[in-house]
């Protein structure tokens, strides 16, 4: 007897589904990659999508998947910030002025959906916030004096294994005890405290504010006198890198997970990638170079005609490059090669531009 061959005893039910429906694939696999503004719009699609998007685990997953620059927060001295989206239909925040914070603030830094702001009054308290969810946290007062223009870097790297977000804030500041020395103070969310590193870096002189970039556990700043200052968070060690004439229109950024420097030169944007941080310690005859050969990015001349003197790169990532030229902002998409003008406020002189990711991350 072989009952398994009889039609009535087939183990596979006639209504079984081997493959997921398209709507389920979109809900499970595509939604986490979308920016927050699009997701809020999709809350009205159906009950299942609303439950999916509203779940805390989805917020965590979206912070892992949605990592591209969505726009920039721009702020002129003494005024509230405004948000300039790269793609206005898909990215945005409900309160760009950040009026949900307890006091007027100046935006100091950002990282993967979180903003670091500082109160304008004499106390100068730091705040961490997500402008999408309007969640915010007031940080304890630092031990050291960071100055009127603190060289702050916010570090938030979403992790699949850490459901509760962990973040750090590091500031490079001039030492009060040693002339011509730079010290470092680090805030850690795990214990909600500031700690001054025992590391001292002599010869760094003045660190340029808003120049800091975090790459794979190392923070880099440009120096007003030229060159770079690096601080390794794991080793608790700093290093001065070889002097280089960066120019006033050169900025640091990340590209393909590595540190890069970008500047406007001869009507194009030049992108150089850091390939060897130890090149300045090698023998004189070594052919090892610190930076690779610059890669030119040619923007559409019908949209933007670069001026090597009056233009400046304000943000760069693996996906998007943003350039300020005259009184306007322009974006360049590395994938589509598209150059376009961005909507913006009437005044951009002396404006702070901070890149932002439209994330649902929770504080």
pLDDT at 287: 56
pLDDT one-digit tens code per residue, 18-51: 456 777 777 778 899 999 999 999 998 888 889 9
More confident residue, 132 or 346: 132
Whether the predicted pLDDT of 339 surpasses 90: yes
Half-sphere exposure of 306 (CA within 13 A, CB side): 24
pLDDT one-digit tens code per residue, 268-288: 888 989 888 765 444 444 556
Query: What does the block give as tokens for 44?
Result: 């009205």
- Residue 94: C-alpha distances to residues 35, 37, 126, 133 (Å): 13, 9, 22, 9
pLDDT at 268: 84
Classify domain 19-247 at the CATH topology level: Neuraminidase (2.120.10)
Cβ pair 307, 327 in contact under 8 A? no
Q: What is the mean pLDDT of residues 84-91?
A: 91
pLDDT at 281: 46
Indicate the burial class of 272 (C-beta count within 10 angstroms; 0-12, 13-18, 19 or more). Answer: buried
Q: Which of 145, 50, 134 is nearest to 96 (CA)?
A: 134
Find the range with the poorest average confidence among 110-119, 137-146, 153-162, 343-352: 343-352
């Amino acid at each position: 007897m072989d009952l398994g061959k009889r039609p009535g005893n087939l183990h596979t039910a006639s209504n079984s589904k081997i493959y997921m429906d398209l709507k389920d694939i979109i809900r499970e696999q595509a939604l986490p990659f979308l920016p927050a503004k699009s997701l809020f719009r999709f809350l009205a699609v159906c009950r299942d999508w609303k439950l999916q998007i509203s779940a805390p685990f989805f917020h965590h997953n979206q912070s892992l998947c949605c990592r591209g620059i969505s726009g920039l927060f721009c702020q002129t001295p003494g005024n509230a910030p405004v948000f300039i989206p790269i793609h206005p239909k898909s990215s945005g925040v409900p309160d760009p002025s950040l009026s949900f914070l307890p006091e007027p603030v100046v935006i100091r830094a950002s990282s993967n959906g979180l903003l670091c702001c500082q109160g304008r009054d004499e106390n100068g308290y730091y705040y961490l916030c997500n402008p999408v969810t309007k969640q915010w946290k007031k940080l304890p007062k630092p031990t050291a004096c960071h100055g009127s223009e603190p060289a702050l870097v916010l570090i938030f790297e979403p992790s699949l294994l850490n459901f509760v977000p962990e973040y750090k804030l590091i500031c490079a500041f001039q030492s009060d005890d040693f002339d011509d020395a730079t010290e470092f103070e680090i805030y850690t969310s795990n214990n909600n405290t500031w700690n001054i590193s025992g590391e001292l870096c002599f010869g760094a002189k003045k660190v340029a504010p808003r120049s800091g970039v975090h790459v794979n556990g190392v923070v880099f700043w440009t120096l007003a006198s030229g060159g770079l200052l690096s601080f390794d968070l794991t080793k608790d060690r700093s290093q001065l890198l070889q002097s280089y004439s960066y120019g006033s229109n050169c900025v640091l950024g990340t590209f393909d997970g590595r540190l890069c420097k970008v500047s406007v030169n001869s009507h194009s944007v030049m992108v150089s990638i850091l390939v060897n941080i130890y090149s300045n310690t090698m023998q004189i005859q070594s052919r090892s170079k610190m930076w690779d050969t610059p890669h030119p990015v040619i923007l559409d001349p019908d949209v933007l005609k670069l001026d090597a003197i009056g233009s400046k790169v304000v943000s760069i990532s693996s996906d998007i490059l943003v350039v300020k030229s005259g009184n306007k902002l322009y974006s360049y998409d590395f994938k589509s090669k598209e150059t376009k003008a961005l909507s913006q406020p009437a005044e951009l002189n002396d404006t702070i531009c901070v890149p932002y990711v439209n994330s649902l991350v929770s504080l």
